[in-house]
Amino acid sequence: MSCPICKKTTSETYRPFCSKRCADIDLGKWLSGGYTYPTEPEEGQEAGLLQPGNKDNQLH
């Protein structure tokens, strides 16, 4: 098995990664939203709800 980040051979300690560095890079991608799943808007969901200038965007 190869590391999904750098393609080197994996380490038993950090599996499926080769090192703590690659594991941390992957974690950073998850936390920053780098990994996403495409979705379809749900029925009744308005596409323009979060447009700039929309007063409903403000948190209360």
CATH code, domain with 28: 3.30.50.10
CB-based burial, 33-45: b 16+ in 10 Å, e otherwise: eeeeeeeeeeeee
Are the beta carbons of 17 and 9 closer than 8 angstroms? no
Please indicate, yes or no, if residue 14 is contained in any of the structural domains: yes
Q: What is the per-residue DSSP string for 18-46?
A: SSHHHHHHHHHHHHTT-S----PPPTT--
Position 56 scores a pLDDT of: 56
pLDDT in tens, 13-27: 999 999 999 999 999
Tally of domains in the chain: 1
Decide if pLDDT at 10 tops 90: yes
Confirm whether 47 is domain-assigned.
no
Is residue 11 included in any domain, yes or no? yes
Q: Are 22 and 1 in contact (CB under 8 A)?
A: no
**According to the model, what pLDDT value does residue 47 have?**
56
Q: Is residue 42 part of a domain?
A: no
What residue type is 44 in one-letter code? G
Q: How far apart are CA 32 and CA 4, in angstroms?
A: 18
Q: 31-58, pLDDT tens digit by residue? A: 998 888 888 777 766 555 555 665 655 5
* Confidence class for position 59, pLDDT limits 50, 70, 90: low
